[in-house]
Structure 1
C-alpha cells in the first residue's frame, strides 16, 4: 500500500480498490490502462516482490519512493532497448524487401533500368527477364544518343522493356523497376501531364496488348541485374540480346538472386 500510494494517480486509486484478489486487480488494470501504464504496473509489481524477498532473506528495507524511482528507471531503459530493437528489426525487414524475388508461378519477372551519361551524350537501357525459379530467359541492353531527364529516361526504359517482352511473345509479366515515379504513373488511371507523360501513355497503350501484367517498385538493391545491364558497353550504341545464357557482367548477380525462395503472389 505504501508503494502504490507514491505511484501514479491511477495506481493510487487502485490501491484502495475493492478487488477480491490479485488476478482481479490485474484484469482491472489491463482493461482500464494504456500500454505505458501497464508496463509501469508490471515493473512495480516485480519490484515489490524483489523488495519483499530482500526484506525476508537479507533483512534490508527499500523505501517506497526509491522503489518507485527504480521502477521508472528500469521501465525507461526497457522502452529504449525495445526502441533500438524495433529499429534493427525494421532495417532487417527493409533489407529483406530489397532483394530480388521471383514472380509467382507461371509469370515472368522483368527488371528494367536506365543509366545516363549526360556529359558523353548517351543513355543506356537494361532489361532482364527471369522465370519463377530465377532462371534467365533473356537479357537486353540498348544505347541511344542524346540526353533526357531522369524520369523521362526511366519511363523510356520501361517502354523498351515492354516492347522487348512483346517481341518475345511473353504474357503474364511482372515488371519491376526502381523508378517509383514512373511506376506510380503507369498504375494510375489519370493522365500524366509531366515531362514523361507522353512516354507513359505509350506504355499504357503497349500494355493493353498483354494478357496480364503488373508494375511494382523495388529499391536499387533488388534491381542490380537490370542496372548493370543499362551500363553494359554503353559507348557502342548497339542493341544486344542474350537468350538463356547471361552476359558475364550479371552472371554472379543472377546466381546469388536465384536462391531467393519467396514468391510474390498476385490475384
Structure 2
C-alpha cells in the first residue's frame, strides 16, 4: 500500500478547521502553563462576576482580561490604524495595562488621596497580573471602587480621542467613588437598616391611563453608613421605562423625611422634564396621606 498523508488530530484522518482550532487552543494552554491555572482562572472570573458593579463595568473588565479592548496597540496589529502611540501621553504604545495603569494620566488618578491603591507600584506586565493582584489584596468595597475607576479611565480615554474632552484626576476618582456607593446602595435590601420603621401601603403596579405617565418613588435608609438612597421610575401605560433616577443622599432625621425627599425629588423631576400628566405612586403611608389630604400637618416632620 502506498504511503499517504493523513491528519492525525481527527478521528477520520481528514483535516477540518474545527480540529485545527482545538489543536491550536491546546498548544496555547500548554504554553501558558496549567499548574493549577484552572482553579486560578475559576477564582478570577468568579469574583469578577460577583462584583456589585454594573454589568457594563464587568463586561469592560472581561474584555480587558481577555485582551480585546480596542486599544491603539490592538488596532495597529490588526492594521486598522498606522500609529500605536498612546493618545493621552504621546510617549509609549497604548496597551491595556498602559492606558489603565502605567500612563502618566492614569498614574495621576491612582495617586489621588481617596484611591485604594495610592501607594502601589507600576511593575505589572499585563492587565491580568494587575487584576489578580487587586483581587487578592483588596476587600470587596475597595475592589468595587477600583473597578469603577478603571472603567472611568477607559471612558475618559474615549472622550479624549473622539470628543477632545478631558476629565481631571480628582473629578474622575470622586465620580467613581460616588458610582460605587450608589450601586452598592441599590443592591442592598430596601429598608433593611431603617432608623425607624415606617408604615407602608402594599401596592401592585397598575398601568396609568394611556395619556398619563406613572412615577414610582421610593427611598431606603442605611443608618450604619449614614446614607439615603432615592429611586424614581417613570413608565407609560405599556410599562415601558422612560426615566430612571437613582441618587444617594446624606442621612436624614428618619425614614419619613427620606420618603418625603424622594417624593419632592420626583415632583421636581416632572417639572424639569415638563411632565404634567403624571400619577405619583409611593409606599410610605404618611407621605401618601400628607399629599392626598389637604389638612395642615402638625407633626415634627411637617
Query: Which bracket does the TM-score occupy, shorter chain normalised?
Result: 0.3 to 0.5
Query: Which of the two has greater helix per residue?
Result: 1
Greater Cα radius of gyration, structure 1 or 2:
1
Query: Which of the two has greater strand per residue?
Result: 1
